[in-house]
Amino acid sequence: HKSCRLHATTDPKTAVRDSDISFVCVGTPSLRSGKLDLSHIEKVAGEIGSALREKKSHHVVVLRSTVLPGTTESLVIPILESASGRRAGSDFTVCYNPEFMREGSAVADFFQPPYTILGAPTPEHLAPVRELYKDLPGTVFETTITAAEMAKYVSNAFHAVKVGFANEVGTLCKYLGVDTQTVTRIFTSDNKLNISSAYLSPGFAFGGSCLPKDLRALAYKAKELDLSLPLLESILPSNTEHIERTVEVVLQSNKRKISVLGLSFKAGTDDLRESPQVQLIKRLLGEGCQLRIWDKDVSLGRLAGSNRHYIEEVIPHIGSLLSTDLKEVVRSGDIVIIGTKSVAKTELAKLLKSGQMVVDLVNLDPSQRPESPATYEGICW
């Protein structure tokens, strides 16, 4: 502004002609059905496209509006190409750069972003935008357009989850006579587990002797107090649904000989209490599948107390399914379900055979996934 480089206009052609980059920042409100109203984006894309028809130099179009994955490539680019008579990528560039600016603090948020996300078909397409943002602080993530679109939705959804979670926990604290502020201050001070990337990685369902029972206890207490806490109450059903998705993957394959690697709820322990793998095995047995199970940390002879009682109650004949021979277990199945990270990549790769299907529940790092003729399927990636 001080150097007289800021100008306002209501003419799209003038705006495009006198600039190198166009940022599209129009609203995407909800229709009554919940579907996004993309009419503003369609209108602006058409106007920019018409302006590009008369522009000889290369132009960059950056969409910042919040849109569902695929919108930029399936809607915005086709409109731009149709209106301009030119091709995206060669005649003009389209990128996606979601904004993370809050009402009331937009300017401050722009100059101090949590991070900057740039989405484009290739890194080369991002060069002008990268140069524009070079002086801003924070990490810059360069990725695909669809990943950038989805990252914005994930961020907003998690913000909403955090608000709802805090409100429900605060309500429960109030009715129990507990100081909400003290609990919140203690909880948010932990940036190793509570407020961090810990647990925020797609994988299998949670289990063990703590999380499930603690959620049930909170829900039960809330009912005693006649409180409706739908967010907290929905977590366990969501967890169960995740197990069911794995069951469906197996059943839809029409394969019934299953090798399961991992029985305990967490590698490095023999705790089977409410292990999601145990629940998965129970469901697959109920569907008529033949199972062999391997877990280097689990020995029936060493199980004791509530741990032993739990597995004997849920799967009474577990002893006949368990084996300490990894090779025998892997080779026995048409599907190999990886439910633990304690099995070595090199060891597993040698045992897998052609025609087998690998179902990964633990989100093995790509470098740790076995290279083999088996078909690989991640449960949610």
* Residue 168: C-alpha distances to residues 8, 195, 200, 206 (Å): 46, 17, 20, 21
Beta strands in 187-239 (DSSP E): none
Task: Give 94's strand partners.
Answer: 61
| 133, burial (CB in 10 Å: exposed 0-12, middle 13-18, buried 19+) | middle
Closest CA to 204 of 269, 278, 124: 278
> In whole angstroms, what is the distance from residue 248 CA to residue 166 CA?
34
Closest CA to 243 of 271, 206, 216: 206
Report yes or no: 336 and 358 within 8 Å, Cβ to Cβ.
Answer: yes
Nearest-Å Rg of the Cα atoms of the chain is: 27
Q: Catalytic amino acids?
A: 210
The angle subtended at Cα 15 by Cα 9 and Cα 20, nearest 5°, is: 145
Report yes or no: 128 and 93 within 8 Å, Cβ to Cβ.
Answer: yes
Closest CA to 50 of 94, 96, 88, 86: 86
> In whole angstroms, what is the distance from residue 246 CA to residue 28 CA?
35
> In whole angstroms, what is the distance from residue 106 CA to residue 28 CA?
18
